[in-house]
Structures are given as structure tokens and as C-alpha cells.
Chain A
Amino acid sequence: MLSGADMLVRSLQDQGVEYIYGYPGGSALHIYDAVFRQEKVKHVLVRHEQAATHMADGYARATGKPGVVLVTSGPGATNTITGIATAYMDSIPMVIISGQVMSHLIGGDAFQETDMMGVSRPVVKHNLSIQDPADIPSVIKKAFYIATTGRPGPVVIDVPKDMTTPGEEYPYEYPAEVEIRSYNPPVRGHAGQIRKAVEMLLKAKRPMIYTGGGVVLGGASEQLIEMTRALGYPITQTLMGLGSYPGSDRQFIGMLGMHGTYEANMAMHHADAILAIGARFDDRVTNNIAKFCPDAMIAQIDIDPSSISKTVQVDIPIVGPVDSVLNEMIGLIKESDIQPDKENLSNWWAQIDEWAKHHGGRYLTNDKGLMKPQQVIQCLQKLTAGDVYVTTDVGQHQMFAAQYLSFEEPNRWITSGGLGTMGFGFPAAMGIQLSFPDETVVCVTGEGSIQMNIQELSTCMQYNIPVKILNINNQSLGMVRQWQDMNYESRHSNSYMESLPDFIKLAEAYGHVGMKIEKIEDLEPMMKKALAMKDKLVFIDVYVDPSEHVYPMQVPTASMRDMWLSKTERT
């Protein structure tokens, strides 16, 4: 016999939860007491609930396991919304347990009452509220099941305080299985459609493989590599997909989309057959959908039927888990009498190589001696060579990191793609570092973004979390400034970061190490030194040219091939 609070924590233990990230308060106090009286599940106390959600999110993205958050009602609950929305947009499995006022007070504007079911509804995969303490184990099981199966996503459990009262005890049993009659995620793709897609690919003259976060989430990296290598076709990936195919591989032609490589965007535009895998044709990828890939036949694999043909109408829809669908495709490709036409393929590659030469990730170094943000990222790449977890915040630094880092494995590149949440990177890095204490975890950030969750320096002090913060300090909200330069005649409305704190002193105030880098010749030795401090959080504050822009950049409302290549050149 256990109280509701003890059942809740026991259920988390039995679910195999390692960490809870959270912050206590009135409605959650019975649960916090149950957390105190056990050791199996470790609780990490953050300094703001938003950070707890991003920590859980980072943990989930790196480990593939669901992240768990515990907060109180009212402000505790509402503070999690940005983090829940971030996870929702990128389909990250998370379970958020929020305290609630006692059930008889609900609806009466009680102290710290917020309708969390209502507030969270648009940004969760599902939410559940506890109506009877006896249901706690089964509701928790259900929440984890929904969060982790099909297209993953965050699930909120709202727990009124009187569901967890000490002394009111119930028989406890954690269900081994759960069945929800109205929820049956697809287990395999349609054989006929899969055959059609294979045929399309094998007959193509200018094929492209375009993959997204679904391959990372679906654990289908191995299958993707096998199929892509067997075909010899070019592959491009979205911001969310990076790492699921080795970045250094000859067939990888870079990220596509708004800040994609010239060759990836050109190849997409001119392709006659596109296989989209776990990618959702986001507007940051397609540019104007009316002009998207005019000559291409498109096959799309996704576990979520509503992702298929949502923005771009596809010719061959395949609903199913990416790993099993790709396995079937690989089998069919091996058996098939038709094989890719060698001559067509070598012409296609010649064309792509030509495009790659045309732009190929270049930028101009600054004659005034200011460091370029790209140089900082390239230095990080050189020193870590992919043996690193990188999280980012949002802005120019994020795009430079996507362009100039190369990932050889999935789950190591961790960024807020769908929602684009500034403030994500640092707590996400903390969540990863705690679970991988021996690995190097770097948060690539900007002086704007880092200040959105800077309070977590304190959490890092408490738990000794030695992440490396690489602050690409351009003294401005760089991405906003870039848009203002390009579209508003350089009127920099509120895109300055005036009165920046002394980040070094700030880091030191929390017992961490701070380093300021202003000269290119200091960059590599100092970054090396910082990365070598394995058990210290190091805040590396690198001053870079504030006027730099991210290129290529697609021209708004045009097709994929229409890009700015520098401040003066356009395709």
C-alpha cells in the first residue's frame, strides 16, 4: 500500500526513469517528499522551470529515452510551456508532471491555479489529469507509452494535490503493458507503395535523398546509410536530420533549405526524383512551395500520416516507421533487375560537383582583423572532429554551427529546429552532460540567447556540470540584424545587445572558469585549453565581427535555387 505521491515516484522508478528535472512548490510538495525518501530516481533542481524542460529535452535527444519534468501548479506549470512547445515541434518524447490545486478547488481561481490542461493542450501530443489516486500507475504508464511511440512528443500529467495525500494509501502495481483502443501507431509501411518508391528511385536520372529528424528519432541511421551507399545517390539533410548520415561522407552534400548549401538547394531544385524520409517539408526548407522542385516525383516516408502531403503534395506516400520501411526498400533494391543507370548518375554527380565548386561554404575573412564566427566553428570542428555533443541556441551561430560542423553519428547535434527557441542550448547541454559525464558537451550560443537561461550557471555549480559554453559574441542579435540589413535598410531596431555583462566575471561568480578570446591567434590554443578542462564549466566568450551574415540564404518567396551567396551576389 502506497500513497499517491509514493505511487507516482515508484511508477517513475519502475518505468526506468533516471532523472527528474524540476522545481518544487505548494501543489507538488507531497510528491517532492516522496522524491526525498528514495534514491533511485535522481532529481535535478534547476533555477527556472523552462530550463528543466530543455534539460529533459536535451537528455531525450541524446539518449533516445523520454525526459521527465516535475513542477508545481500555476507559475511552475506555465513556465514549462516554452519548453513543452519546443519539444512538441521537434517531436521529442517527454513527460511533464505538473502539480495542481486540490480537485475541489479547481475552477475557483484558487491560489496558484492555472488550467494546465487547457494551457498546454495546443503544444502537447496528449495530456492527462489524475482523477483518482488509484489510477496513478496506469496513467503514468499511458503517458510514457504515448510520449515514446508513433511520432513521439511531450505528454503532460496534471496532478491535483489531493491525489497525493500522505496516509491515503492504495495497492500499487505498475502495469506491464498498456493498450489504448483509439491509439495504434503504424507498425509497417504499405508494401505496394514501398515497391513504387523503389522503382521511382531506381529509374531516376537526377535522384535526391532528403532526410529529416524522423530518421534520428526513428533510430534508422544504419538503414539510411546502407540504402544511400547501395544506391550511390546524393543525400541532403534538414537542420534536424544532421548526423544520421555521416557528415564527412562523399555522398553527403550538406544541409538544404534557407541556409543550406548551394549544391544541396540546386540539386533539390533540379532533381527528377526525391525520396523524403522523416522530413516534413517545412517552410524553412522548401521556400515557396508553389515553386518547389518543379520536375520532381516525390516519395515520402513518415510515421505520422498528417505529415504526408501537408505542405507539398507527394506522389508516393508511405506511412510507417522509417527503419522498417527502409529495411524493406533495401531488400527490394538488392533484388531488383533494374539498377541505377551509371552514366546518368555520373553526369548528375558531375553537375553537383560543379555546383559545389561554385559556392562551397566560403566566406571572406575580415581585413580589420576581426574574427569571423565561421572561424570559431571551424576551430571547434578541428579540435573535436565530431567526438562531441553540440547543442545550440538560435540565431546566426546556430546556422554557422549547422554549416561548419560535421557529425558522423546521430543524437549528437542537438538544436531547436521547429520552434527556434533562444535559451534552449545551455540547459539542453546540461541534461546531456549529466548523462554522459565523460563526454565533451559544447553549447554553441550567442550573447543574446545565453542570457535567456543564464541563471542555470547556478545549477551547474550545484551539480558540477562541466559543459563548455562557446559564446559567439557578435554584440548583437545577429540574425535579427541580418534581416534588418537585408530587408529594412539596416535600421537596427532593437537588435543591439548593449550593456553586455562581463561574462567572465559572471562565470567566475558561480565558481566556473571564464575565458575571453578576441584575437584569431588565441582562438585555437585557448579553445584547446578550455576543452581540456574536463571537470570545469568553461564560459568561452569569443568576440567576432558583428556585421557578418549567414550565406547562402534563400531569397524569400522564390524557389529553392534562388539564393543570396554573399552581401552582393545572387543566383
Chain B
Amino acid sequence: MRHILSILLENEAGALSRVVGLFSQRNYNIETLTVAPTEDPSLSRLTLTTSGDDRAIEQMTKQLNKLIEVVKLVNLSEGEHIERDLMLIKVKASGAQRAEIKRCADIFRGQIVDVTSSIYTIQLVGASSKLDAFIEAVGDANILETVRTGVSGLARGEKVLAL
């Protein structure tokens, strides 16, 4: 099963490589990874998606917690949460296709952020599954390039991950 782990990490040189190193050393996989400083400059927030059965995820979270620079960690998938991934996608848009692509982008609430006579660059925000659905709807043949930020997320309601 897919899990979203959200981690508060000391914003120190080498801390990120420890997290990434742990995953390769222990043979866990990382599907997506995003990291950036938080409003408190001494902390980074890292969101990571991975998959595994309950025992594997439990080991992973314990091993992550053991890293000295990991301050706090939560498995967002264990509760109600909001997840967002941002994609920029460059698609062929000429002739009859052009209107079709535009309609498709509208349905998915995408924004066209760059235009040439034959190309649209569309920005899409949502859960990863929504972005996957858009890629499917547009069709591989029309896609020139995609880039995604990877998942970031927060728990719904009052729960917060803070010091």
C-alpha cells in the first residue's frame, strides 16, 4: 500500500542525504520526495511517498525516527489528509486537437501557463491520482514533456506536525 510520510528535519548539511541513504541501505523504495525549509528556518519539511505492507512501513518509520536529525514524523496516510502534487505538462496542441486539449485542461481545472502556435504548457494541481488521470486523458502520443513536484500534504483538521 502507498503511504505518505511527512517529516520535520533539522535544516542541516547532510541531513537529507541521511534520509535518502537510509532508503537505499535498507532496500526501501521512494516514489516521490519533496523538501523545502519551513517558516522556521532551522527546520525542513520533507514529504515522501513509499509503499510496503504495515510491517515494512513500521520499520521504515522507526528507522527514520532513529536518524538524529529527524525531529518529528507522521504517516499522513493513517488519517484524513490533503495531498497535492503539481505538474507542468507540455502537450501538442494544433489543429482540431487544440480545442480538445483546452477542454480537457478545463475539466481538470488545469491552467494553460504557456502557449505557442502548436503547444500548450499546462499546470495542474491535485492528488497524484488526478494528475495520472489527466495524463491518460491527454494520451501519450500528445505529451512532449512532464515534470512533477512530487506529493506534499497535511493532515486535515486540527492536527499539526510542529515542534
* Chain A positions near chain B (C-beta within 8 angstroms): 117-118, 121-122, 125-127, 129, 131, 146, 180-183, 304-306, 309-310, 313
Judge if B77 is at the interface, Cβ distance under 8 Å: no
Q: Is A306 a contact partner of B63 (Cβ separation < 8 A)?
A: yes
Judge if B62 is at the interface, Cβ distance under 8 Å: yes
Identify the 3 closest CB pairs spanning chains A and B, nearest first.
A306-B62, A182-B71, A126-B68
A131 to B13, CA, bound (A): 10
Minimum CB–CB distance from A135 to chain B (whole Å) comes to 12
Report the count of interface residues on B (CB-CB < 8 A).
Answer: 19
Q: Is B18 a contact partner of A146 (Cβ separation < 8 A)?
A: no
A306 to B26, CA, bound (A): 12
Q: Is A305 a contact partner of B65 (Cβ separation < 8 A)?
A: yes
Q: Write out the residue numbers on chain A whose beta carbons fall within 8 Å of the beta carbon of B10.
A: 182
Chain B interface SS verdict (over half): helix
A121 to B18, CA, bound (A): 7
Q: Write out the residue numbers on chain B whose beta carbons fall within 8 Å of the beta carbon of A118.
A: 17
Q: Is A304 a contact partner of B21 (Cβ separation < 8 A)?
A: no
6 contacts between A and B (CB under 8 A): A121-B17, A121-B18, A121-B21, A182-B69, A305-B65, A309-B58
Q: Is A306 a contact partner of B68 (Cβ separation < 8 A)?
A: no
Judge if B70 is at the interface, Cβ distance under 8 Å: yes
Judge if B129 is at the interface, Cβ distance under 8 Å: no
Minimum CB–CB distance from A373 to chain B (whole Å) comes to 37
For residues 44 through 59 of chain B, which have their beta carbon under 8 Å from a beta carbon of chain A? 55, 58-59
A181 to B42, CA, bound (A): 12
Q: Is B55 a contact partner of A117 (Cβ separation < 8 A)?
A: no
Q: Is A122 a contact partner of B21 (Cβ separation < 8 A)?
A: yes
Q: A150's closest neighbor in chain B, by CB?
A: B66
Answer whether A183 and B68 are a contact pair too, CB < 8 Å, given A306-B59, A313-B55: yes
Q: Is B68 a contact partner of A146 (Cβ separation < 8 A)?
A: yes
Q: Is B68 a contact partner of A181 (Cβ separation < 8 A)?
A: no
Q: A117's closest neighbor in chain B, by CB?
A: B14
Q: Write out the residue numbers on chain B whose beta carbons fall within 8 Å of the beta carbon of A117.
A: 14
Q: B21's closest neighbor in chain A, by CB?
A: A121
Q: B9's closest neighbor in chain A, by CB?
A: A182
Answer whether A181 and B163 are a contact pair too, CB < 8 Å, given A146-B68, A306-B66: yes
Q: B70's closest neighbor in chain A, by CB?
A: A182
A310 to B61, CA, bound (A): 12
Q: Is A180 a contact partner of B68 (Cβ separation < 8 A)?
A: yes
Answer whether A310 and B69 are a contact pair too, CB < 8 Å, given A121-B17, A122-B21, A122-B25: no
Q: A131's closest neighbor in chain B, by CB?
A: B13
Known: A121-B18, A122-B25. 5 other contacts (CB 8 A): A118-B17, A146-B68, A181-B163, A182-B69, A182-B70
Minimum CB–CB distance from B30 to chain A (whole Å) comes to 16
Q: Write out the residue numbers on chain A whose beta carbons fall within 8 Å of the beta carbon of B63.
A: 306
Minimum CB–CB distance from B14 to chain A (whole Å) comes to 6
Q: A308's closest neighbor in chain B, by CB?
A: B62
Minimum CB–CB distance from A148 to chain B (whole Å) comes to 14
Q: Is B25 a contact partner of A182 (Cβ separation < 8 A)?
A: no
Q: Write out the residue numbers on chain B whose beta carbons fall within 8 Å of the beta carbon of A121.
A: 17-18, 21
For residues 1 through 49 of chain B, which have their beta carbon under 8 Å from a beta carbon of chain A? 10, 13-14, 17-18, 21, 25
Q: Is B62 a contact partner of A305 (Cβ separation < 8 A)?
A: yes
Q: Write out the residue numbers on chain B whose beta carbons fall within 8 Å of the beta carbon of A126.
A: 68
Minimum CB–CB distance from A105 to chain B (whole Å) comes to 17
Contact flags (1/0) for B56-87 with A, using CB distance below 8 Å?
A: 00110011011011110000000000000000
Q: B8's closest neighbor in chain A, by CB?
A: A182
A309 to B66, CA, bound (A): 15
Q: Write out the residue numbers on chain B whose beta carbons fall within 8 Å of the beta carbon of A180.
A: 68
A118, A129, A182: which has the most chain B beta carbons within 10 Å? Answer: A182
Q: Is A182 a contact partner of B55 (Cβ separation < 8 A)?
A: no
Minimum CB–CB distance from A266 to chain B (whole Å) comes to 29
Q: A304's closest neighbor in chain B, by CB?
A: B66
Q: Write out the residue numbers on chain B whose beta carbons fall within 8 Å of the beta carbon of A146.
A: 68
Answer whether A181 and B71 are a contact pair too, CB < 8 Å, given A121-B18, A122-B21, A306-B63: yes
Q: B22's closest neighbor in chain A, by CB?
A: A122
Minimum CB–CB distance from A315 to chain B (whole Å) comes to 14
Minimum CB–CB distance from A226 to chain B (whole Å) comes to 30
Q: Is A309 a contact partner of B71 (Cβ separation < 8 A)?
A: no
Q: Write out the residue numbers on chain B whose beta carbons fall within 8 Å of the beta carbon of A313.
A: 55
Q: Write out the residue numbers on chain A whose beta carbons fall within 8 Å of the beta carbon of B68.
A: 125-126, 146, 180, 182-183
Contact flags (1/0) for B78-122 with A, using CB distance below 8 Å?
A: 000000000000000000000000000000000000000000000
A121 to B69, CA, bound (A): 13
Q: Write out the residue numbers on chain A whose beta carbons fall within 8 Å of the beta carbon of B55.
A: 309, 313
Q: Write out the residue numbers on chain B whose beta carbons fall within 8 Å of the beta carbon of A306.
A: 59, 62-63, 65-66
A183 to B68, CA, bound (A): 6
Q: Write out the residue numbers on chain A whose beta carbons fall within 8 Å of the beta carbon of B17.
A: 118, 121
